[in-house]
Amino acid sequence: EKWKYEIAPWVWHYQGSAMPDPSINLEKAVILVLVRNSELVDIMNSVKQLENRYNHKYHYPYIFLNDVPFAKDFMDQITLATDSNITFSLIPSEHWSIPQSVDINQAKIGQEILNAKGISYAKSMSYRKMCRFNSGFFYKHPLLSELDFYWRLEPNVDFFCDLTYDPFKLMKQQDKKYSFVIILKELIQTIPTLWDHTLNFIKMNNIPISGKLLNMLVDSQGKYNLCHFWSNFEIASLKWFQSKEYNEYFDYLDSTGNFFYERWGDAPIHTLAAGLFLQKKDILFMNDIGYRHDNFARWPATNSSLKHNPKCQIPNLINNANNRKNPNEKIKLKNFDFNKYSCLNVWNTFEHDPLDWKYEAA
């Protein structure tokens, strides 16, 4: 019997048909998917591509999380996309909520301000709960407590290149805590006070920042340069997210209520936390991964002629994710690494100088 229903409260397990390859030593790692029932087709696309490009060799298990129970049909369909073991579970309601201390009226005012500026998800409460969950709760889920690494997978992404090695193994061997494929500038309207709060946190707790990645994230005026690792793709250390220091930072940020008054994303928070506590050497740029999310894509290339890398198949055109009225409209695909809004150049040229930066707390 492949299905084991409710092996614990709200935990469903499916035993995949894959046989472990005895010559491969797997890490304690999982592919982690937060998704809605309504996104079945889009997450099937992501799982299928991840399997084809990489996981069919390793059969890392999947953990699917949701704030409401997964539909039986959703779970059945997902089992057709991978041979790996799959666990479906529910997020504890206290991990997907609005803290008591948040003033809902003030939150509504903040939503209107963002809406007037045309910012996406401006009025969405669920988007804010999602960002808060991905900032401070996903790694607290009981199913993740014994694991070392996760690979975050979102609906409707593409993987363009075969991966011929195990990135979890690379993370382990090189003692990396975090890895990324796209680094770009955040919309300042969504995080107007995040930098000032981060400076307060540094000051209150005497966080030693010399030699830390934070020096890459400040501009010449001592302000956040808005560069952040795009967290819809992430391979990272659970132990790092579970650490006391990360959680003290998250708890402080959460206490400000600004997941709701503003629209803080988990990506700049993960990045600033890496800035506070990690060094460049703790972070891996996964250059071999070709990836698309929305209209942003990148693949390994020193110039566009390397589109002919035999491990990668790069489409010329993609569907325009920004055209909600006509999602089949095609646009030309460009490598975001060479876009002026990419921070890859900031990353590539950053060599930390501990004496480089003096901050002024606001």
| 158 forms part of the interface with Mn ion (CB under 5 A) | no
161: phi then psi, degrees, rounded to nearest 5: -130, 145
The strand pairing partners of 234, in sequence order, are: 152
Residue 34's binding partner among Mn ion, ligand GDP, none (Cβ under 5 to 8 angstroms by kind) is: ligand GDP
> CB neighbours of 142 closer than 8 A, spacing ≥ 6?
none
Calpha distance 224→195 (Å, rounded): 6
Element (H, E) at 41: helix 40-50
Nearest Cα to Cα of residue 273 among 98, 136, 130: 136
29-34 vs 149-152, strand pairing mode: parallel
Q: Which is nearer to ligand GDP, 36 or 108 (CB)?
A: 36
Calpha distance 297→49 (Å, rounded): 15
- The minimum distance between CB 155 and Mn ion, in angstroms, equals 7
Calpha distance 159→20 (Å, rounded): 24
Token duo for residue 55: 């996981």
Nearest Cα to Cα of residue 60 among 91, 13, 25: 25
Select from 154, 186, 262, 288 the one that contacts Mn ion (CB under 5 A): 154
Residue 66's binding partner among Mn ion, ligand GDP, none (Cβ under 5 to 8 angstroms by kind) is: ligand GDP
Q: Which is nearer to Mn ion, 36 or 172 (CB)?
A: 36
Residue 82's binding partner among Mn ion, ligand GDP, none (Cβ under 5 to 8 angstroms by kind) is: none
Residue 126's binding partner among Mn ion, ligand GDP, none (Cβ under 5 to 8 angstroms by kind) is: ligand GDP
Residue 89's binding partner among Mn ion, ligand GDP, none (Cβ under 5 to 8 angstroms by kind) is: none
Element (H, E) at 87: strand 86-90
- The minimum distance between CB 286 and ligand GDP, in angstroms, equals 18
Q: Strand, helix or coil at 297?
A: strand
Select from 13, 18, 26, 36 the one that contacts ligand GDP (CB under 6 A): 36
| 266 forms part of the interface with Mn ion (CB under 5 A) | no
Residue 35's binding partner among Mn ion, ligand GDP, none (Cβ under 5 to 8 angstroms by kind) is: ligand GDP
The residue to which tokens 């030699």 are assigned? 211
- Say if residue 270 is exposed, middle or buried (CB neighbours under 10 Å; 0-12, 13-18, 19+): buried
| 46 forms part of the interface with ligand GDP (CB under 6 A) | no
Q: Which of 27, 51, 234, 262 is catalytic?
A: 234
Active site residue 234: yes
- The minimum distance between CB 158 and ligand GDP, in angstroms, equals 14
Whether the CB-CB separation of 294 and 189 falls below 8 Å is answered with no
Calpha distance 239→278 (Å, rounded): 13
Q: Which is nearer to ligand GDP, 121 or 359 (CB)?
A: 121
Site for ligand GDP in 113-132 (CB under 6 A): 126, 130
- The minimum distance between CB 294 and ligand GDP, in angstroms, equals 7
Residue nearest to Mn ion according to CB distances in the complex: 154
- Say if residue 28 is exposed, middle or buried (CB neighbours under 10 Å; 0-12, 13-18, 19+): exposed
Binding part of the chain for Mn ion, among 126-134, 205-213, 226-234, 338-346 by CB under 5 A, reads: 226-234
- The minimum distance between CB 341 and ligand GDP, in angstroms, equals 16
Binding part of the chain for ligand GDP, among 28-36, 55-63, 107-115, 169-177 by CB under 6 A, reads: 28-36
Catalytic residues: 234
Question: Using CB under 6 A as the criterion, which residues of the chain lie in contact with ligand GDP when the complex forms?
Answer: 34-36, 39, 66-67, 126, 130, 154-155, 232
Per CB under 5 A, residues contacting Mn ion are: 154, 232
